[in-house]
Structure 1
């Protein structure tokens, strides 16, 4: 069985959504460095042009301006790639927005892009990865820690990323049976600076943030280790802290606490003492 990172090979075909900037562009650079043929998808034509100028490699490079929430656009892309067999699919496009409980458009927009943008991609290109028992292929879906620890403040975003976690887990389970050489990975970045929206508009990376390239490097490392969950630390929050936060969140269910207890005043002391005293065994390498 080939290692998942064998997919990063000259001549193999990669498609990345949200590829014009940030993590998507960083993963595109990773693919290009291995000589892969690239198909970059984004809804921003100007940024796609800039991204194209930043990528160098021996493989071919095509850009596709489209809306990932549109099935019509996905069908058009499928037609454009009818003679191409994908080896690497990174469904990375996503948005953040704020709204309140009376704002139906907020919920629909977040789910249309963050959730159905991924579902559309899986539906469209699933046949490229099914029934694969020899060549290394991979599907990467970008999630969020907010979809796991569920902090207050943005319910639609958190719910969309939580749904992606569930979908990606099912995809991994099903393809492990039918397509043992297709690996599936849930990429969960930490605080990541893109130079576009990170740091409140500043062009200087804050000390606590990782660069998008660090996230791409971590993805490669964890894929090489055969990991499904690619949990990225950053310079402020290490893996051990992430683990404790996730364990506390699950404890709300197990110990019948109120939901989102870590942010409720009545649980402040208990949360601080419990998390400080947690012993979780071996740490993940970083």
Structure 2
């Protein structure tokens, strides 16, 4: 049984919906009978996405809206037009970029990433949450997190910071919603693994062969529906390289840096390399 927010004739609003995980989620909820609002900057990709969804789910309504999540006026347009198709019961904050900055790179690079990866999510929550609370029926908000917002691997500090911020924001949102309306409006953190998407494979086309390691975006969308149906908050995705057990060990190791007073990011510290490999030896086959 699906989460009650995923229901026939209700509306799902999805950012970054023209490709990758956002598009996969749009297709998946349309198959459940939901009308979908697709928000994306890429007009050509939007038109293609609409055509495919209408072909696969001809009985649902699809509303494409071109816009930039870093533009508050565009987000207000999205909010205002979303209700043209009916009651909005699902908001999926998927849009994000990965091109970031290191710990002492210029502020402009940090701001550009945070505007998309964090501030747009907060802005849309501010717009939609009160409406979802006031309307009848169940609703849900799904924010896209990342394993890099949990174990915060080195190499792209701005991206890791943005996804760590999304994790905390969504945890706080889930708590406040539970205190206010119980389980009628819920929040969920979708945590993809390595996924075959344009973010991870720039320039990919429909003809690009998928490597063995990543999951498909459709697998991530299926996991989202499964996790929401089970009332999970943390909806975790493996991939074909990292099992759930391996990811659990990586998260536990990261948390134990603080508890055991190890250096930060000790998993990538040469003095702890052997200790970490021993810690995962029984599952890292």
- Tell me if both proteins adopt one fold, taking TM over 0.5 as the criterion: yes
Superposition CA RMSD, Å: 1.8
Task: Judge conservation of contact 2:100–2:113 (CA < 8 Å) in 1.
Answer: no
Is 2:40 aligned against 1:42? yes
Task: Judge conservation of contact 1:78–1:124 (CA < 8 Å) in 2.
Answer: yes
Report the alpha carbon displacement of residue 64 of structure 1 after superposing the two structures with TM: 0.7
How many correspondences in the alignment?
Answer: 274
Task: Judge conservation of contact 2:100–2:110 (CA < 8 Å) in 1.
Answer: no
Q: Gapped runs of 5+ residues in structure 1?
A: 279-286
Aligned partner of residue 36 in structure 2, secondary structure = strand
Q: Map 1:60-209 onto structure 2 (within 5 A).
A: 60-81=61-82, 84-100=86-102, 101-131=104-134, 135-179=137-181, 180-194=183-197, 196-199=198-201, 201=203, 203-209=208-214
Deviations 1:1-32 (A, max 9, x none): xx762222211111000100000000000111
Deviates more, 1:206-215 or 1:78-87: 78-87
Q: Map 1:9-20 onto structure 2 (within 5 A).
A: 9-20=7-18
Task: Judge conservation of contact 2:37–2:82 (CA < 8 Å) in 1.
Answer: no
Of the three residues 53, 56, 63, the one matched with 1:55 is 53
Aligned partner of residue 161 in structure 2, secondary structure = helix
Of the three residues 189, 194, 216, the one matched with 1:211 is 216
Task: Judge conservation of contact 2:195–2:216 (CA < 8 Å) in 1.
Answer: yes
TM-score by length of 2: 0.91
Q: Mark the CA change 1:274 to 1:81 in structure 2 (over 3 Å): closer, same or farther.
A: closer
Task: Judge conservation of contact 1:4–1:226 (CA < 8 Å) in 2.
Answer: no
Task: Judge conservation of contact 1:85–1:128 (CA < 8 Å) in 2.
Answer: no
CA distance in 2, matches of 1:162, 1:4: 28
Aligned partner of residue 107 in structure 1, secondary structure = helix
CA distance in 1, matches of 2:79, 2:228: 27
Is 2:226 aligned against 1:224? no
For 2:20, the equivalent position in structure 1 comes to: 22
Task: Judge conservation of contact 1:4–1:138 (CA < 8 Å) in 2.
Answer: no
Of the three residues 3, 6, 10, the one matched with 2:4 is 6
Aligned partner of residue 106 in structure 1, secondary structure = helix
Task: Judge conservation of contact 1:143–1:187 (CA < 8 Å) in 2.
Answer: yes
CA distance in 2, matches of 1:234, 1:155: 23
TM-score by length of 1: 0.91
CA distance in 1, matches of 2:98, 2:89: 29
Deviations 1:129-170 (A, max 9, x none): 2256x6221110001000001110000000000000000000
